[in-house]
């Protein structure tokens, strides 16, 4: 009945705000805002400790390179509506395998790395196969994978193995200079490369579309002609591959193998993905959000270390609390829609 009046300026602004509030990117914006706020808070709190420097930002990428790669793998799985609890174990297993082969058997790294990646990918593919073929819930299959790989770690060796191989050490300490007197490690650059590949394959390839379709609704995806089984297996393979790659980066970062390395890292990876705005139920989210999630978690770690008096276990607690807070945020946003 009412004539279509030209909307007033505030109404237009309100509508723009509403469209932002309703957009799928909103969780990413929220995370970006949180990151900026936390960084500003850190900068003002630790003024005289030189928090506001390029190297602190670069260190975020260096210290969390393995987490970024693991979280990228987890993003694929969670976008498809599944979950992978075996990430931390696969990383721990990879560190053990690499350390044993390099240190004890003196294999060259260029031979060990592809082997480790193949083992991780095969493990992921196997889990994906069981999940799809026998319709067993992903969490129970990957939970069994968690225990299997962690057990295999201890079968290889119960003790921690230090890597003293010169080639590995040189690779680990190599610095790639950046403008402004900062530098990145090889691990950080590799993790960013993985991120770029993931962004491309999720947002610009057929495989990426299938992953989103699968997460949106498996039934609809099936009816649309998406090869659900192949996609599902591929998704877990990608996750296993990424976990193994993260394990290699972790080995490079910490230069040792230990059966208890990366214990509980799956929570960090899942937390990074969820904080980055990917829905737990799948079908919606961005890889770039995962990067932001990793950076937020990394910033928490950095701030706890800057604080000096806080112990490392606060990191675990903070990660858990942040994860829950963002899940609750998802619920609230989900309800509004």
List contacts with another protein (CB under 8 A).
81-83, 85, 130-141, 143-148, 150-152, 154-155, 158, 215-220, 259, 264, 266-267, 270, 274, 279-284, 311, 313-317, 319-321, 323-324, 327-328, 331, 333-335, 337
Residue 183: CB minimum distance to another protein, A? 32
Kindly write down the DSSP assignment for every residue of 179-193, as one continuous string.
Answer: TTTEEEEHHHHHHHH
The sign of the torsion formed by the CA atoms of 324, 327, 331, 332 equals positive
Residue 275: CB minimum distance to another protein, A? 12
Radius of gyration of the chain from Cα atoms? Answer: 21
d(CA 99, CA 78): 30
Residue 82: CB minimum distance to another protein, A? 6
Q: State both tokens at 265.
A: 């890292």
Residue 311: CB minimum distance to another protein, A? 6
Based on CB atoms, which residue is closest to another protein, 193 or 324? Answer: 324
Q: To 10 degrees, the CA torsion angle through 298, 85, 185, 158?
A: 110
Based on CB atoms, which residue is closest to another protein, 53 or 284? Answer: 284
Residue 152: CB minimum distance to another protein, A? 6
Residue labelled with tokens 């990117």:
25
Based on CB atoms, which residue is closest to another protein, 48 or 311? Answer: 311
CA 243: distance to chain centroid? 9
Based on CB atoms, which residue is closest to another protein, 50 or 137? Answer: 137
Based on CB atoms, which residue is closest to another protein, 53 or 157? Answer: 157
Distances (CA, A) of 314 to 41, 102, 142, 294: 18, 34, 27, 17
* Nearest Cα residue to 247 out of 84, 99, 76, 58: 99
Report H helices in the chain. 9-22, 26-45, 54-63, 65-79, 87-99, 109-134, 138-156, 166-173, 186-204, 206-216, 218-224, 228-254, 265-275, 287-307, 313-336
Residue 83: CB minimum distance to another protein, A? 6
Based on CB atoms, which residue is closest to another protein, 54 or 151? Answer: 151
Residue 42 and residue 303 in contact, taking contact as beta carbons nearer than 8 Å: yes
Based on CB atoms, which residue is closest to another protein, 60 or 270? Answer: 270
Residue 251: CB minimum distance to another protein, A? 20
Give the burial class of 116: count Cβ atoms within 10 A of its Cβ; 0-12 exposed, 13-18 middle, 19 or more buried.
buried
Based on CB atoms, which residue is closest to another protein, 52 or 143? Answer: 143
Residue 267: CB minimum distance to another protein, A? 4
């Amino acid at each position: 009945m009412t004539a279509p009046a030209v909307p007033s300026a505030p109404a237009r602004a309100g509508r723009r705000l509403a469209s932002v509030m309703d957009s799928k990117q909103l969780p990413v914006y929220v995370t970006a805002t949180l990151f900026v706020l936390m960084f500003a808070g850190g900068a003002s709190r630790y003024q005289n400790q030189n928090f506001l420097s390029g190297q602190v930002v670069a260190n975020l990428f260096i210290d969390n390179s393995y987490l970024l790669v693991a979280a990228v793998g987890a993003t694929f799985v969670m976008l498809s509506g599944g979950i992978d609890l075996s990430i931390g174990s696969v990383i721990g297993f990879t560190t053990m395998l690499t350390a044993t082969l390099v240190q004890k058997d003196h294999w060259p790294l260029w031979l060990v790395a592809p082997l480790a990646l193949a083992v991780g990918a095969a493990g992921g593919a196997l889990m994906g196969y069981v999940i799809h073929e026998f319709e067993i819930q992903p969490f129970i299959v990957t939970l069994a994978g968690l225990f299997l790989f962690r057990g295999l770690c201890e079968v290889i060796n119960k003790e921690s193995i230090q890597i003293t191989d010169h080639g590995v050490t040189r690779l680990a300490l190599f610095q790639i200079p950046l403008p402004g007197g900062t530098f990145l490690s090889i691990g950080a650059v590799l993790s960013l490369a993985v991120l770029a590949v993931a962004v491309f394959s999720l947002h610009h390839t057929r495989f990426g579309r299938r992953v989103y379709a699968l997460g949106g609704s498996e039934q609809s995806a099936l009816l649309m002609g998406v090869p659900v089984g192949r996609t599902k297996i591929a998704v877990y393979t990608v996750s296993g591959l990424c976990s193994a790659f993260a394990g290699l980066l972790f080995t490079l970062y910490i230069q040792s193998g230990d059966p208890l390395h990366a214990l509980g890292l799956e929570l960090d990876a899942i937390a990074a993905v969820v904080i980055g705005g990917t829905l737990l139920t799948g079908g919606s989210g961005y890889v770039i959000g995962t990067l932001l999630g990793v950076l937020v978690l990394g910033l928490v770690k950095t701030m706890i270390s800057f604080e000096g008096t806080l112990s490392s276990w606060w990191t675990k607690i903070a990660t858990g609390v942040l994860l829950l807070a963002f899940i609750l945020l998802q619920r609230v946003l989900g309800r509004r829609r």
